[in-house]
């Protein structure tokens, strides 16, 4: 369960002064549900997800994940979260198996449980063919699978995906979207950010449109269509964002 409560993040920039990257964002996501955070580049998606993953600390507000406050107990939150983004790379000089085992140990798994989980994940994701290959020698698809295995090794209840298909070819991207669906089907709470409309339409149970750090609207796809009197998600997005876009640009 994710419950974001008035999350805000401000940065100080030498040239531009104070920047409100995320401004009073609240939403919630239940187990077995995919929440899609839809926004353009610089909308505040990554900062929001980094705060949920406790990589960044909120300036104001908080979020409760699996009963733990992200500000009060960030380590407990991280133990319940699997975080995957294009910025979460692999250690090039470790093998695929060493990489996954490392994160298993950091999550406090004992050696016998770790072995069992690693064997299970490697079989499930068809990774046994490259488990002893160094990460810098893996193809993009193999790297993505290793990253998925890394996020899954401690069997987290919450999965956070920050534009996970950005820059990937169609087959690798498909591996990721299939995996996201599996997470939902396994009862995990999933939050997923993207600017690709088709991915949102296919995957998300609830959609939130974020722009200029503010969550402008949210609801199921059907609710958004009804609310904004448009069928096409792209048109809905443009309709929602345009009035605020001028404010942000100004």
Partner 1 sequence: MNLNAIGVVYRKEFTEWIRDRRTLISTVLVPLLIFPLLMVGSVYFATVMVGRAKKETPTVMLLGAENSPALVARLQKLDNVEIVPYAANWKDLISDKQVRAAVDIPKDFDASLTTNSPQTVNIYYYEGDLKSSFGADNVEKSLKDYRESVVKDRLQAKNLSATILTPFDVKQENVAPPEKVSGATIGGFIGYVVIILCMTGAMYPAIDLTAGEKERGTMETILSSPIYRLDLVLGKFLLVFSASLATAVLSVISMGISITLLGQSQMKSGDAQHFALHIGGMSVLAVFLMALPLAVLFSAVLMTIALFAKSYKEAQSYLTPMTFLIVIPAVASVMPGVELTPKLALVPILSTSLVCKEIISGTYHWHSIAMIFASTCVYAAAAIFLAVKTFQRESVLFRS
Taking the C-alpha atoms of residue 122 and residue 26, their distance in angstroms, rounded to an integer, is 37
Which listed residue (34, 63, 90, 204) binds partner 1 by CB under 8 A? 90
Tokens of 240: 């929602």
One of 7, 29, 37, 53 touching partner 1 (CB under 8 A): 53
Indicate which single residue of 30, 87, 128, 139 sits in contact with partner 1 (rule: CB under 8 A).
Answer: 87
- Gap between the Cα atoms of 158 and 136, Å rounded: 28
Q: What angle do CA 54, 92, 85 make, to 5 degrees?
A: 35
The answer to whether 55 contacts partner 1 (rule: CB under 8 A) is yes
Smallest distance, partner 1 to C-beta of residue 135, A? 10
Q: Does 76 bind partner 1 (CB under 8 A)?
A: yes
The torsion angles phi and psi of 113, rounded to 5 degrees, stand at -65, -40
Smallest CA-to-CA distance from 164 within 143, 141, 193 is with 193
Binding mask 109-148 for partner 1 (x = CB under 8 A): -------------------------x--------------
**Of the residues 66, 79, 168, 248, which one makes contact with partner 1 according to CB under 8 A:** 79
Torsional sign, CA 195, 196, 198, 203: negative
Binding positions for partner 1, rule: CB under 8 A: 11-12, 50, 53, 55-57, 75-76, 78-79, 81, 83, 85, 87-94, 98, 102-103, 105-108, 134, 150
């Amino acid at each position: 369960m994710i419950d974001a409560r008035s999350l805000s993040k401000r940065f100080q920039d030498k040239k531009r002064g104070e920047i409100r990257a995320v401004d009073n964002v609240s939403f919630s996501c239940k187990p077995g549900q995919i929440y899609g955070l839809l926004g353009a580049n610089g909308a505040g998606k990554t900062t929001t997800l980094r705060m949920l993953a406790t990589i960044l600390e909120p300036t104001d507000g908080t979020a409760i994940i699996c009963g733990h406050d992200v500000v009060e107990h960030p380590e407990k939150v991280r133990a319940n979260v699997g975080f995957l983004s294009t910025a979460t790379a692999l250690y090039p000089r470790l093998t695929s198996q060493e990489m996954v085992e490392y994160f298993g140990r950091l999550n406090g798994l004992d050696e016998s449980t770790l072995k069992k989980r690693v064997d299970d994940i490697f079989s499930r994701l068809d990774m046994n063919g490259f488990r002893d290959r160094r990460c810098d020698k893996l193809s993009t698809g193999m790297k993505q699978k290793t990253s998925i295995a890394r996020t899954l090794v401690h069997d987290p209840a919450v999965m956070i995906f920050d534009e996970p298909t950005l820059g990937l070819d169609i087959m690798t991207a498909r591996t990721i979207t299939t995996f996201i669906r599996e997470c939902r089907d396994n009862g995990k709470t999933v939050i997923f950010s993207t600017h690709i409309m088709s991915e949102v339409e296919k995957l998300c149970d609830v959609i939130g449109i974020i722009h200029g750090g503010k969550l402008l609207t949210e609801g199921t796809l059907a609710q958004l269509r009804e609310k904004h009197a448009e069928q096409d998600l792209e048109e809905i997005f443009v309709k929602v964002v345009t009035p605020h876009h001028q404010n942000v640009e100004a």
